[in-house]
Amino acid sequence: MRPDARLALLAALPLVVACGASPSPEAVVVVPRAEPETIVIGPPEPLPARVALEWEVYGDTPTVAWAPDGARIAVAHQVNYLSTPDDSGHVGIDVVDIRKGLPRRVHQGPGYHPVWLSNDTMAFGCSPYECSNGEGIYLLEEGGRAQRVLERGVYHTRLAQGGGVLFFSGFPEEEGWMVWDRAARSTQPLRGVPKSSWKPPVSALVDQCPSKVGARRVDARGSKIVVRDDETGKSHALGSFPPWKLEWPANGGVIKPCLSPDGRYVVYFAKREGSGFVGVLSVDDH
C-alpha cells in the first residue's frame, strides 16, 4: 500500500461521538475497571432513567458500538497503527452495561471497530499492522474467546445491512469495500463503490452509534454536548467536557458524540490532562 493511501485510510476512520442545568465533569461518576471476567446475560433488567458514567480509555482512536438491547456498549481501546505500537497489555475490547456501570474486558489484545451481530455475538477486525500473521475478522461469542473466521487485510469493520460484516479490504489484498456473510462464510464486494474510496458507503451499513435517531440528534459544539429535537427546533446542552481531538491526522477533528439505538443516551468522548475518557449520559434527565 502506498504511504499516501495509508494516510488516507486512517483519516477515514469513522468518528463517533436554550440550556437547562448541565452536569460538570465532577458530577459524572468515574467508574474503575473491573477485573476481566465473562459477562453472563441474565433476565432483562429495565434501563435506568438517569445515567452519568465515565471511564478512562487507552489509546488515541477509540471506537464504540451499542448492542441491540440498548443496555450495553462495546468500546475498543485502540491506537493509531501508523505511528504508535500496540501495547498488548492495554489494547482490547470492553463491554459496559449501563445498568451496572463497570467496564468488563471481553477481548484482550489488538482488535478494533466492534460490531454487534446479535445481543450475544460480536465481530471485530484486525489489520496486518496490529495483527501480523493474524489479520482478519474475528467472532466473539458470549462467554467465549475470539475466533478468526476470515483471513484477510481487514479495516473499518461495521454492521452491514442484512446482518453481515462490512469492511474495507486494504493491504495486502486491496479489494475495496466488501461484506462478509456469516451464514455463508463468504465475502462479496460491494458494487458501485470505487475500490479507492476509503469512505464507508452509508447505504450499506447499520450505524450502531448514530448521531441521529428519529427527530433527535446530538453534536459537539466546542466543549458542549448538545442535543436537538428537529421537530420542535429546541436544543439543550447535556454538559461541558474537554473535546477529544484526534492527534493524527492533524486535521482529524474532534471525535463526535453519538446516540444509543433508542436515542435515550448519549456517548461522548473527552480528553483531560493527556488521558482519554468515554462517557454515557441520559438525555431526558439532563
For the record, the C-alpha cell of 188 comes out as 462479496
For the record, the C-alpha cell of 234 comes out as 429546541
Q: Look-up: residue for cell 441474565?
A: 42
pLDDT beyond 90 at 267: yes
pLDDT bracket for residue 85 (50, 70, 90): low
**What is the domain partition of the chain in residue ranges?**
3-282
Least confident of 21-25, 36-40, 98-102: 21-25
For residues 150 and 259, give the distance between their C-alpha atoms in angstroms, rounded to a whole number: 30
What is the distance, to the nearest Å, from the Cα of residue 128 to the centroid of all Cα atoms in its chain?
A: 20
pLDDT beyond 50 at 138: yes
* pLDDT of the residue at 132: 80
Domain 3-282 annotated CATH 2.40.50: no
pLDDT bracket for residue 192 (50, 70, 90): confident
Quickly list DSSP for 168-191: EE-TTT--EEEEEETTTTEEEEPT
For the record, the C-alpha cell of 78 comes out as 485502540
Question: Do the Cβ atoms of 271 and 279 come closer than 8 Å?
Answer: no
Question: Do the Cβ atoms of 93 and 77 come closer than 8 Å?
Answer: yes
Residue 59 DSSP one-character state: S
pLDDT one-digit tens code per residue, 42-57? 556 788 888 999 999 9
Quickly list DSSP for 68-120: TTSSEEEEEE---TTTS---TTT-EEEEEETTT--EEEEEESS-EEEEEEETT
Please report which helix (H) or strand (E) contains residue 4, including its range. helix 3-11
Peptide bond into 3 cis (omega under 30): no
Cα-based distances in Å from 138 to 19, 79, 129, 161, 189: 43, 18, 16, 19, 19
pLDDT one-digit tens code per residue, 21-33? 333 434 444 445 5
> Which of 30, 121, 108, 110 has the alpha carbon at shortest distance from 72?
121
Annotate 256-266 with b (16+ C-beta within 10 A) or e (fewer): bbbbbbebbbb
pLDDT bracket for residue 10 (50, 70, 90): very low
For residues 120 and 127, give the distance between their C-alpha atoms in angstroms, rounded to a whole number: 24
* pLDDT of the residue at 38: 45
Contacts of 4 (CB under 8 A, 6+ apart): none
* pLDDT of the residue at 249: 62
